[in-house]
Structure 1
């Protein structure tokens, strides 16, 4: 098979030529003024004609040769640094030809060093001075050592244009470079904080703003609402209309958020077709009104031409009993999944009828006594979640919105070998996996198993599946999520499923 070889381009990439291009114009101006200074010294010393050839070529042909070399180089920046070192070397030679005339020689050293400092810093300056010394030594070796440090008045006058103009030119170039760096810095900062497709804040920066709002609530107690939103049937949009249509729907939904919400509201793309909205200084009731208006806007101004794309919203107002930001996010996320299970295209607010458990109150004395190895939540809330469940023998555990263990009975503690210092569901699973107790986990990546389990729990607020225990027993496990957390109950022991059912059970376990 023949191999096609692409010839390398003689032109360097344009975005790498900025340094060389700036040096090209400054070198032309600086060397032209330098030739005026050198000519004055040559006239003062009655230099022969041949001595003018080298400086003339360097000052008027050298800048174009340097630019040509930089454009051909694979790395134009490194090529330009080599050009600067060549300037230093030739400058050393011209110092010898000027017989070490003091003012021109000092200007040649200082101004060349200024150029090199701007182009490569202290290390390049040191290298440049070394090259300049080599030029001086070679010049002395070829033409001998002749020292005439005094300068006549018109030689001094010939130095003034270079003395005045070159620093101004270098400062102007440096100022433009600093301005360009500031623009690039602002662009990079914007890129690091915003989602490239929707233009909204990305997840990490949006969560930072949510944390700042949570801290402000802790200090001042001012209301705030968190909203999780999700485009309905988004996979169907991609499958039927293509990913370009899906991207269009995301962009138009982001525009709808910015069109309907206030400037003080903070919108972010949480991931995929899911979005987060932070509404500071807002109550849940006011947030629901705004989101209902947004829902109507999506019907009036469709996200896809000829296709109605709706969205579901979960709303959680921040209250004093929300322990941390993770819990607040999880509450809003749970309300979003309530909205999905209600049929989509709706708003579900934490605390409204149907969003949480009915207000069934029992006294703390009516609760059964349970062991609480890590964290004890409000007994009244625990009672609301456990009412009606006959779990005196069945293993069960209750977790708060951030997956921290709140309550577990002795049967659950024994089955999962829960330790006294256990805090979260992940701790329980890791410990049982390490000691080979509890559910059988057929994977070496326990973190992936935990992520899969969390994803299933979030997508299915209520689910019932078979669990294979390490000791050979099988249980029907029931999970249900509430606004205040989620409950796990192993309802009853059962016989092993048939071979056709076992793979499905293993799939549920991740």
Structure 2
């Protein structure tokens, strides 16, 4: 009796019995003359003729029905093979151990058992064959007719000719199925199930290989990371099924727009990667702009425009690893996000048109530093010599540089290396800014969410010692410069404004600047 969870397993096990059914029908039909010619020569009784005909022409169908109705068809078919072994020994005894038919019967039965169950089933089969031989000797008496007549020899030829062909055909099917299964498993290990593109591990391996090729031959290559804009909103507003459909359609657009030499992969979630061998950044920009335009022409969701942002990074001698190359592409992707999304960003692409991305307020622009990308030399000029507390943070929340005034104001120990660590240190030691009585992790998360759309801003903060500072945070494509200016006005003792945290951004290591 099968349970609701077992039909698929039963069907898989039944496949073995199904594949054995036709060979058993043909094998016994073609092999019956081996015994019939000996019976004719020895004048065997009618009961032995009837028994042989029933075994050769009825037993295959009974065996198939038995396996089909069994709870475990695979084990049932193995029992059927043991019955075949038993019957083989029985008929060998009745034909008087006629040499050629007996040898052929033993060989073919042992081959079937070995194929179906290995040495274990072969050993059991030989035991059953011996039991059948004993029963044949008990019922028919001992007969010794080892010499094979010409009729006996000719009766063996059909089985000798057809059985190897049948075995070869079965082996070919098994090898083909195994090869297809292996190819399927290889495809699954290399490809993402949802998008059909390369998965992250295999795609990164291609990036690593391309970087090694660049080191050997100096061939140009460009890496592109892309992210579907506001993907969480798609899942929230339209459901996860619509999000999955958007990913599949986006992957289809990649396959349509990219060249045969380009390699696309799903990097994770709604983020994708494209490796463009022998391609300069400017050439890649043309291709990616064409892809971006297709997103406007062919929406990923019906009646809903879904855009994407693209970060482009060309290989250059100052990139010392494929990881650095990928970080640079990720940094450019953040730049595209920061500039307003739905655009392509690269180191030398310049700023987007003013009509699509409003400029930063004049008071917080970096001038030449912003126009020239990451001109950190100008950005950090005079940092330690300035009297105002100042700090530079990278996109991974690390305190890259701080001046003496900043460290003194926050009583910053050497062990603190991140912005979140700074706030936790101030909260526990009751130094630096007043944070309030809210639960710290909740406060950090909520205030960060409020400031998500304001990476460049000015706000006031009250210190524990009563002083008031004006904090100016300016973001330059991932780098954050924080400057604190003390205000001279008196501070009410009841004032306790929270020290607002920064907007988190994508990684932009210091080694990648400039």
Corresponding position of 1:421: none
Q: Among residues 207, 211, 216, which one is paired with 2:208 in the alignment?
A: 211
Residues 47, 486 of structure 1: CA spacing in aligned structure 2 closer, same or farther, 3 A cutoff? farther
Deviation at 1:54, TM superposition (A): 3.3
Considering only CA atoms, is the larger Rg found in Structure 1 or Structure 2? 2
Corresponding position of 1:126: 123
- Tell me if 1:252 matches 2:249: yes
- Tell me if 1:415 matches 2:413: yes
User: Could you list the per-position Cα deviations for residues 452-508 of structure 1 after superposition, in whole angstroms to 9, with x for gaps in the alignment?
Assistant: 9xx99xx9996999xxxxxxxxxx99999988x97898989xxxx999969x98xx9
Q: Among residues 325, 347, 352, which one is paired with 1:328 in the alignment?
A: 325
Corresponding position of 1:161: 158
1:377-396 aligned at under 5 Å gives the runs 383=377, 386-390=380-384
Three-state SS of the structure 2 residue aligned to 1:17 is helix
Corresponding position of 2:136: 139
Unmatched segments (≥5 aa) in structure 2: 353-365, 429-444, 460-469, 486-493, 505-514
Give me the whole-angstrom Cα distance separating, in 1, the residues matched to 2:92 and 2:129.
Answer: 9
Residues 398, 303 of structure 1: CA spacing in aligned structure 2 closer, same or farther, 3 A cutoff? closer
Residues 149, 407 of structure 1: CA spacing in aligned structure 2 closer, same or farther, 3 A cutoff? farther
Residues 280, 6 of structure 1: CA spacing in aligned structure 2 closer, same or farther, 3 A cutoff? closer
Residues 321, 461 of structure 1: CA spacing in aligned structure 2 closer, same or farther, 3 A cutoff? farther
2:383–2:390: 8 Å Cα contact kept in structure 1?
no
- Tell me if 1:116 matches 2:113: yes
1:407-446 aligned at under 5 Å gives the runs 415-417=413-415
Three-state SS of the structure 1 residue aligned to 2:47 is helix
Query: Normalization by structure 1: what TM-score?
Result: 0.73
Corresponding position of 1:284: 281
Residues 245, 189 of structure 1: CA spacing in aligned structure 2 closer, same or farther, 3 A cutoff? same
Deviation at 1:228, TM superposition (A): 0.8
Residues 498, 178 of structure 1: CA spacing in aligned structure 2 closer, same or farther, 3 A cutoff? farther
RMSD over aligned CA atoms reads 4.7
2:309–2:333: 8 Å Cα contact kept in structure 1?
yes
User: Could you list the per-position Cα deviations for residues 377-411 of structure 1 after superposition, in whole angstroms to 9, with x for gaps in the alignment?
Assistant: xxx9874664353389989798899x999999998
Three-state SS of the structure 2 residue aligned to 1:415 is coil
Deviation at 1:103, TM superposition (A): 0.7
1:214-253 aligned at under 5 Å gives the runs 214-253=211-250
Give me the whole-angstrom Cα distance separating, in 1, the residues matched to 2:36 and 2:274.
Answer: 71
Give me the whole-angstrom Cα distance separating, in 2, the residues matched to 1:499 and 1:84.
Answer: 87
Corresponding position of 1:374: none
Corresponding position of 2:341: 344
Give me the whole-angstrom Cα distance separating, in 2, the residues matched to 1:127 and 1:500.
Answer: 85
User: Could you list the per-position Cα deviations for residues 41-90 of structure 1 after superposition, in whole angstroms to 9, with x for gaps in the alignment?
Assistant: 22222221222333323221221122112222333223222221221122
